[in-house]
Amino acid sequence: MEAIAPEVKQRVEELRQLVQKASYAYYVLDDPIMEDSVYDKLYRELQQLETQYPELITPDSPTQRVGEKPATQFSSVRHNVPLYSLENAFNIDELKTWQERWKRHALKEVESAEYVCELKIDGSALALTYENGVLVRGATRGDGITGEDITQNVRTIRSIPLRLNVENPPSRVEVRGEAFLPLEVFRQINQERRDAGEQLFANPRNAAAGTLRQLDSRIVAQRRLDFFAYTLHIPGMDDASIARTQWDALELLQNMGFRVNPNRKLCPTLQEVAAYYEYWDTERLNLSYLTDGVVVKINLFALQEQLGFTQKFPRWAIALKYPAQEAPTRVENIAVNVGRTGALTPLAEMRPVELAGTTVSRATLHNSDRVAQLDIRVGDTVIVRKAGEIIPEVVRVLTELRPADAKPFQMPTHCPVCSQPVVRPEGEAVTRCVNASCPAILKGAIEHWVSRDAMDITGMGEKLVQQLVNRELVHSVADLYDLNPTQLQALERMGKKSAEKLLQAIAHSKTQPWSRVLYGLGIRHVGSVNAQTLTQHFPTVEKLAIATPADIAAVYGIGAEIAQSVYQWFRIPANQALIERLQAAELQLAQKDITPVTEVKTSISGKTFVITGTLPTLKRDEAKALIQNAGGKVTESVSKKTDYVVIGEAAGSKLEKAQQLNITCLSEAEFLELLS
């Protein structure tokens, strides 16, 4: 028998510790230390290693445990109907495998089946008992067999009816659903806790669980929990007499007075399930609550009854989860990066980990305040996620796994690139190098200037920029226009033809419009959209240079902070000299066809729009451009200040909120008619 490598044994033991700690915190303390996606990743890794090396399986391994004990701060109650967990799938192939498996368990051959897809809400499961139509008990899931009686707290949730909205209700009804905190409420709660100096909730799931277990129900009422119902049981009655399918059950729950997720869908094939899953992979980011996957259920109750349950899961349902947005890994080093504005950004260099479809080995730590808040150290095990689906960042540190010799990290007092002293301006969280000649600042400024959204100089990559700066061939972006073939050919991997192509690309950048030049200057707070807005109102650099902060802030969409930043930039002599050199190099510092900017009043001038769902013919960016060109404004969330909501297929919660606020909703056709 092949010997098991020591690192494998060490990893198995580490995984057992992590999973056990997370399981205890979740089921017993009701104080989760990691997201479900992280727990799933760790659990599956442990399963895979134990499958590969069965001799490593021990009786106390989390994979050998069926359930955990419920918390003991509330009185324990036994569920009338057990709350089963769901088996997880993490891609469409695993979903297909599940379908093949349940078909083998069917009593007779089944060619196809309808499925009901519901978004998997990231909250806390509740079991509600109604007797003669009146709510008599609300309980947490606990271990699925026994939970905690939290009836008084459940009564404070306004989306849970105290009495069923039906005549002659059954003598007993068991309703299952998910309590959750809307994102807006979650942020408000954390802000209040921050102001009070209290520990912040890690996520809405944590906050919902903590809220449900408050001993003072008045606090629960203040936190405005919400609830979606997703199934019901009526003991002693044949479900077929009131509902033949899961879809019928959801309709019945809605008629009884419960909120049911409006984004559910009945899918006749597995292909449509896959399409639903893929659609919500991106669209879920626009929801007012968190979801980490899709629950897929066989629609027909008769088939559900045939298939039954395993020891842990129903065979007729599965949770199809999205790729993990959070994952555990270990910090191997903490480096400090210097950006084009001189900002010093600490970075965690980590053991590579798969995250949302990509391999991540570095994550931003933002600034010294964030480092202190996390108390992150080299050797720590951390949870990392992608902020805004793009930038990896460390969420928290699992301090219980910290090495004994780990030392606190200190921000440097001198720039790691130019060795000059750094400063932290009063009122700011960012530490900066203020040496204008710092190679890192210059390198960042040039990389920004040549980027696609700015001057789009093809062939000017990071390594080439580094060479130009290191050899002191450029000291500002204006020097790029003075480069000659001899200088370029002396660089590594730069031949005659490559040098000629690069010089052609540099020359072509002189034709880029004034808005791109303004963006390329890298003025703080001025993005590509703001640059376009500013150049429409200030069609020449001379007009923008003499504008006052009030003049700039008067432009629609430009705030006081941006206005002050632009004004201050043009007051600096070095920047004034840069503009003169760019003018001498014949760059476009004015719009070619200068026409006075006049405010054209339209029917939607100054109106605020929200776009939701999939429009029949227009892409979202196209609809947004039409609104902005007509003088309107587009925002991401519905509020009392919203004038119109443009709705498409699968409009979701934004449509629901618009209806609650009596905001005018427009189809694509009505929207285009309004524009005309």
pLDDT (average), residues 537-564: 88
Q: What is the pLDDT of residue 594?
A: 45
471 is in an annotated binding site: no
pLDDT (average), residues 247-252: 94
217 is in an annotated binding site: no
Checking if the pLDDT of 27 tops 70, the result is: no
433 is in an annotated binding site: yes
Instruction: List the single range of 36-45, 119-128, 579-588 with lowest mean pLDDT.
Output: 36-45
Same CATH fold, 514-585 and 439-510? Answer: yes
What is the Cα–Cα distance from 488 to 395, expressed in whole angstroms?
A: 44
665 is in an annotated binding site: no
Checking if the pLDDT of 199 tops 80, the result is: no
Token couple for 210: 């903590």
Domain ranges of the chain: 6-56, 88-321, 326-423, 439-510, 514-585, 608-675
pLDDT band at 608 (very low <50, low <70, confident <90, very high): confident
Which CATH number is associated with domain 88-321?
Answer: 3.30.470.30
Checking if the pLDDT of 615 tops 80, the result is: no
Q: What is the pLDDT of residue 20?
A: 74
Checking if the pLDDT of 624 tops 90, the result is: no
Compute how many other C-beta atoms are within 10 angstroms of the C-beta atom of residue 429: 12
Question: Is the distance from CB of 266 to CB of 285 less than 8 angstroms?
Answer: no
Instruction: List the single range of 205-219, 514-528, 532-546 with lowest mean pLDDT.
Output: 205-219
What is the Cα–Cα distance from 315 to 309, expressed in whole angstroms?
A: 5
Checking if the pLDDT of 515 tops 80, the result is: yes
543 is in an annotated binding site: no
Checking if the pLDDT of 443 tops 80, the result is: yes
pLDDT band at 59 (very low <50, low <70, confident <90, very high): low
**Is domain 439-510 in CATH 1.10.150.20, yes or no?**
yes
Token couple for 274: 């896959």
Residue 31 is given by DSSP the state -
pLDDT (average), residues 308-323: 87
CATH architecture of 608-675: 3-Layer(aba) Sandwich (3.40)
pLDDT (average), residues 438-451: 91
What are residue 647's phi and psi, to 5 degrees?
A: -115, 140
Highest CATH level, class, for 6-56: mainly alpha
pLDDT (average), residues 494-521: 93
pLDDT (average), residues 222-240: 80
CA distances in angstroms from 48 to 61, 63, 284, 388, listed in the order given:
13, 11, 30, 31
38 is in an annotated binding site: yes
321 is in an annotated binding site: yes
Instruction: List the single range of 395-404, 487-496, 634-643 with lowest mean pLDDT.
Output: 634-643
Which CATH number is associated with domain 326-423?
Answer: 2.40.50.140
What is the Cα–Cα distance from 398 to 400, expressed in whole angstroms?
A: 6
pLDDT band at 69 (very low <50, low <70, confident <90, very high): very low
pLDDT (average), residues 332-354: 90
pLDDT (average), residues 493-498: 89
Q: What is the pLDDT of residue 67?
A: 43
667 is in an annotated binding site: no
pLDDT (average), residues 400-404: 91
Q: What is the pLDDT of residue 37?
A: 74
- Which residue numbers are catalytic? 120
Highest mean pLDDT: which range of 203-212, 453-462, 635-644, 652-661:
453-462
Q: Which of 383, 293, 407 is nearest to 330 (CA)?
A: 383
Q: What is the pLDDT of residue 465?
A: 92
* Diameter of the chain measured on Cα atoms: 92
Checking if the pLDDT of 70 tops 50, the result is: no
Token couple for 134: 């009146």
Is 104 strand, coil or helix? Answer: helix
141 is in an annotated binding site: yes
Please write the tens of the pLDDT for every residue from 262-306: 999 999 999 999 999 999 988 988 888 988 899 999 999 999 988
**Strand partners of residue 355:** 358
Report percent pLDDT > 90 for the chain: 37
What is the Cα–Cα distance from 374 to 395, expressed in whole angstroms?
A: 8
Q: Which of 399, 380, 381 is nearest to 15 (CA)?
A: 381
CA distances in angstroms from 456 to 1, 196, 376, 494, 505, listed in the order given:
60, 48, 38, 19, 8
Report percent pLDDT > 70 for the chain: 89
Token couple for 566: 């632009």
297 is in an annotated binding site: yes
Question: Is the distance from CB of 340 to CB of 447 less than 8 angstroms?
Answer: yes
What's the mean pLDDT when you consider all of the chain? 85
Please write the tens of the pLDDT for every residue from 408-430: 999 999 999 999 999 987 777 88
Question: Is the distance from CB of 594 to CB of 539 less than 8 angstroms?
Answer: yes
Residue type, 628: Q
**Is domain 514-585 in CATH 2.120.10.30, yes or no?**
no
39 is in an annotated binding site: yes
pLDDT (average), residues 244-261: 92
Checking if the pLDDT of 516 tops 70, the result is: yes
What are residue 397's phi and psi, to 5 degrees?
A: -110, 135
Token couple for 322: 């999205």
Q: What is the pLDDT of residue 197?
A: 67
Token couple for 329: 């890994």
Checking if the pLDDT of 598 tops 60, the result is: no
pLDDT band at 557 (very low <50, low <70, confident <90, very high): low
Q: What is the pLDDT of residue 555?
A: 82
What is the Cα–Cα distance from 540 to 596, expressed in whole angstroms?
A: 11
Q: What is the pLDDT of residue 593?
A: 58
